[in-house]
C-alpha cells in the first residue's frame, strides 16, 4: 500500500508558528495563535481563579497551584514552549475569543516518521465553557495538524469522569480505542484514562472544521 508521508522535513517545523481562525460560536469568534509572553497576566488570573475546575483533570506537578500559576511562572513556561515549538516537538496554541486569551490547545509529543503522531490537550476559561469554544478550537487545530503539519494520527486521553471533555471528543468524531489503566498522575493519584484517536483517513471532506460548521455548532467568519 502506498504511503502518504510528506516530503522529508528540512529546516523549521512545518506548520509552526501558525495563527488561524476564525469560527463564530454562540460565545463569540474563536481563533488560534501561538502563546505569547504577554499572555502571562490573563493566563495566571484565569488559572488561579479556576483551580477547582481545572485541577481534577490536569497532571499533578510539584508546588502549590497558586505558586505554579503565578504571573512570574509564565516566562519560563513560555520559553520552554517556544523552544519545543521551534524544535517541532509541540504546537502550543492559545485559544482566543473575540481576540481575548481564554485557554490553550496543546499538541504535544509530536513524533514524525514513521508514526507521524501526536496528542492533543486543551482547557478553557470556566466563564466561557459550555458554548462550543473548545470544540471549535480543537477542530481547527486538528485540521491544521493533518494538513500543514503533515501528521497522520492524533490521540487524546481523558478521565472517564470528565463529561465535558468526552463530549468535545464525541462532537469532533474522535474514536474510542480503549482504557489506559493508571495512566497519568492527575490531581494527586494515578488515574485511568480513556484513549481516543483520529487518523487522517477518518476526516470527511473539509475536515473537522467543516463537520462542526455542518452540524450548525459554528459558522465561518
> What is the nearest approach in angstroms of ligand COA to the Cβ of residue 164?
3
Q: Which is nearer to ligand COA, 79 or 164 (CB)?
A: 164
132 forms part of the interface with ligand COA (CB under 6 A): yes
134 forms part of the interface with ligand COA (CB under 6 A): yes
109 forms part of the interface with ligand COA (CB under 6 A): no
Q: Candidates 89, 116, 133, 149: give the one binding ligand COA (CB under 6 A).
A: 133
Q: Which is nearer to ligand COA, 132 or 150 (CB)?
A: 132
Q: Candidates 101, 122, 146, 196: give the one binding ligand COA (CB under 6 A).
A: 122
Q: Which of residues 163-202 bind ligand COA (CB under 6 A)?
A: 163-165, 167-168
HEC secondary structure over the chain: CCCCCCCCCCCCCCCCCCCEEEEEECCEEEEEEECCHHHHHHHHHHHHHCHHHHHHHCECCCCCHHHHCCHHHHHHHHHHHHHHHHHCCCEEEEEEECCEEEEEEEEEEEECCCCCEEEEEEEECHHHCCCCHHHHHHHHHHHHHHCCCCCCEEEEEECCCCHHHHHHHHHHCCEEEEEEEEEEEECCEEEEEEEEEEEHHHCCCCHHHHHHHHCCCCEEC
Binding site for ligand COA (CB under 6 A): 53-54, 57, 122-124, 129-135, 158, 162-165, 167-168
Amino acid at each position: 500500500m502506498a504511503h502518504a508521508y510528506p516530503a522529508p522535513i528540512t529546516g523549521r517545523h512545518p506548520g509552526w508558528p501558525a495563527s488561524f481562525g476564525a469560527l463564530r460560536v454562540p460565545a463569540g469568534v474563536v481563533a488560534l495563535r501561538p502563546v505569547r509572553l504577554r499572555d502571562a497576566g490573563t493566563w495566571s488570573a484565569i488559572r488561579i481563579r479556576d483551580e477547582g475546575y481545572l485541577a481534577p483533570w490536569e497532571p499533578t506537578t510539584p508546588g502549590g497551584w497558586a505558586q505554579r500559576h503565578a504571573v512570574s511562572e509564565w516566562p519560563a513556561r513560555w520559553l520552554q514552549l517556544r523552544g519545543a515549538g521551534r524544535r517541532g516537538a509541540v504546537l502550543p496554541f492559545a485559544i482566543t475569543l473575540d481576540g481575548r486569551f481564554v485557554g490553550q490547545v496543546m499538541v504535544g509529543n509530536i513524533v514524525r516518521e514513521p508514526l507521524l503522531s501526536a496528542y492533543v490537550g486543551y482547557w478553557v476559561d470556566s466563564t466561557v465553557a459550555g458554548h462550543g469554544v473548545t470544540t471549535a478550537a480543537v477542530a481547527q487545530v486538528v485540521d491544521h495538524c493533518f494538513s500543514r503539519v503533515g501528521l497522520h494520527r492524533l490521540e487524546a486521553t481523558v478521565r472517564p469522569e470528565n463529561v465535558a471533555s468526552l463530549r468535545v471528543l464525541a462532537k469532533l468524531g474522535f474514536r474510542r480505542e480503549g482504557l489506559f489503566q493508571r495512566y497519568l498522575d492527575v490531581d494527586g493519584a494515578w488515574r485511568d484514562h480513556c484513549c481516543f484517536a483520529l487518523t487522517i483517513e477518518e476526516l470527511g471532506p473539509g475536515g473537522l472544521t467543516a463537520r462542526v460548521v455542518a452540524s450548525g455548532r459554528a459558522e465561518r467568519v
